Chains A and B, each alone.
Chain A
Amino acid sequence: GQQLNQSPQSMFIQEGEDVSMNCTSSSIFNTWLWYKQDPGEGPVLLIALYKAGELTSNGRLTAQFGITRKDSFLNISASIPSDVGIYFCAGSTDSWGKFQFGAGTQVVVTP
């Protein structure tokens, strides 16, 4: 079952708006990842975070590794229609890369 709490579960936004989502855990993680999944496809890695407090951007996407190491945030600025999809966070304490995934945030962008 899920051990990460990802919120919100879904978001309906207008094109051009900013989007924020987050993940929290009762466990301390060494690595946070953010993925996006399109219908019928596997998740695609967006951003990887390795240090508490780290802030990393990938185009219009910005993610942060929380100071407590128990949370992470993803922001999407100026959303566009192709941002539609399910966004997953994943956390790991395992040097082998064994990640726990959040339940996902469904993003719907309307024109």
Chain B
Amino acid sequence: DAGVIQSPRHEVTEMGQEVTLRCKPISGHNSLFWYRQTMMRGLELLIYFNNNVPIDDSGMPEDRFSAKMPNASFSTLKIQPSEPRDSAVYFCASSPQGGVFGYTFGSGTRLTVV
């Protein structure tokens, strides 16, 4: 089992640029979650999908953030335009039965916006 795969592991970009983070969930998992982790705010849920459909995006901070899940094996989180305050570690997680039994996190993407 390869686990949840995120790419890139590290991303440094200039303010105003578009950033796309990618996630491949564990095969067979039907729920996918995007979290953001910062020192100030801890782990925050941004959005989650069930069977590729967005269920709750109330955690997405602004219209600059968007997420898609075109199929069961791929999801993206896009920030356009990026700002320095978007700097954080972004985690993707997946679960086989909604998320109520807990989920498996990827290793994260550390985003730095300069």
Q: How many A-B residue pairs have CB under 8 A?
A: 63
A55 to chain B, nearest CB (A): 18
Q: How far, in whole Å, are A88 and B55 apart by their CA atoms in the complex? A: 24
The answer to whether B105 and A42 have CB atoms under 8 Å apart is yes
User: What interface size band does chain A fall in?
Assistant: 20 to 34
Given contacts A42-B106, A44-B105, contact A31 B42 (CB under 8 A): no
The yes or no answer to B14 lying at the interface (CB within 8 A) is: no
Helix, strand, loop or mixed for chain A's interface? loop
The yes or no answer to B25 lying at the interface (CB within 8 A) is: no
**B-chain residues with CB within 8 Å of residue A95 when the two chains form the complex:** 98, 100
9 A-B pairs with the lowest CB-CB distances in the bound complex, closest first: A97-B99, A42-B105, A101-B43, A97-B100, A45-B102, A97-B98, A103-B42, A33-B102, A48-B102
